[in-house]
Amino acid sequence: MFLGLRGKTALIGAASKGLGYAIARELAVEGATIVICARTKEPLKEARDRLATETGAKVYAISADLSKYEDVKRVATTSLEKLGRVDILINNNGGPPAGPFETHDAATWQEAFDQTLRSAVEMSRAVLPGMKERHWGRIINVTSMAAKQPVDNLVLSNSLRAAVHGFARTLANEVAEFGITVNNIMPGYTRTERVESLAAATAKRDNTDAATVLTRFEKDVPMRRLGEPEEFAALAAFLASERASYITAQSIAVDGGWIRGLM
């Protein structure tokens, strides 16, 4: 399927590994010029070099913590300088820590808010003027299945991922007339470091080991396996494309059937 991404530009958060890296690679393969960002410089540089070598795309890297407003501004400004414009924004960031409600103090809630919701809001704010001027744009938020069906021991993610969905659903209506789509993709249990860390946290809570918890995750999924980052990235690339121009305000799960709801 021709996705029409050659010549487009994309900014992808938390893209040195995991889902962010997989999305960056998919967009690069489709011909987009990309900027990737992440907090740790060396893994980010390695990711940039690997992407450029394997795909032949132009790839830029910016070290930044997107939970910090000054870093968001710097990433947006630098991306516009390097790319000329941002056609596709992938709002992706690491998930907040696991744990029940009473283990998280006010400071932890604030950090989770900045990391999960505020980063998506401020990144979107930075790129929207250009998208509206050009009457074309894609904003895709990487959230979690927890936004639709809460996961035990993830009160921070359950709460703030749902808030991102509320923001996105409202923004989608406001910018639709400008040819801009806003969608959420909800990963399920996928083979990433994030899922491994959640398995470790759950194992500690349940007094067992991470391998046992990962097996439990797999049994909870109708497909009886974890997802692969590339499977998730394929949907992101489609939603970023010309072919998805009439799809907006949607939240789509890539979870192997884990969410049990009808809608």
pLDDT of residue 4: 87
Same domain, 145 and 194: no
Same domain membership, residue 235 and residue 125? yes
Range of the domain at 221: 190-226
Provide mean pLDDT across the span 25-40. 97
Predicted local distance difference test score (pLDDT) of residue 1: 64
In a domain, 125, yes or no: yes
Pair (124, 174) in one structural domain: yes
Q: Where does the pLDDT of residue 103 fall: very low under 50, low under 70, confident under 90, or very high at 90 and above?
A: very high
pLDDT grade, residue 119 (50/70/90)? Answer: very high
Return the beta strands (E) in 64-149 as ranges: 88-91, 137-142
Same domain assignment for residues 242 and 127: yes
pLDDT of residue 122: 96
Residue 140, SS3 per DSSP: strand
The reported pTM is 0.95
Three-state secondary structure call for residue 63: strand
Residue 260 placed within a domain: no
261 lies in a domain?
no
Neighbours of 125 (CB within 10 A): 13
C-alpha–C-alpha distance, residues 238 and 77, integer Å: 26
Q: Are 89 and 200 in the same domain?
A: no
Q: How many structural domains compose the chain? A: 2
In the predicted structure, residue 127 carries a pLDDT above the cut 70: yes
Give the tens place of pLDDT for each residue, 131-187.
999 999 999 999 999 999 999 999 999 999 999 999 999 999 999 999 999 999 999
Same domain assignment for residues 77 and 118: yes
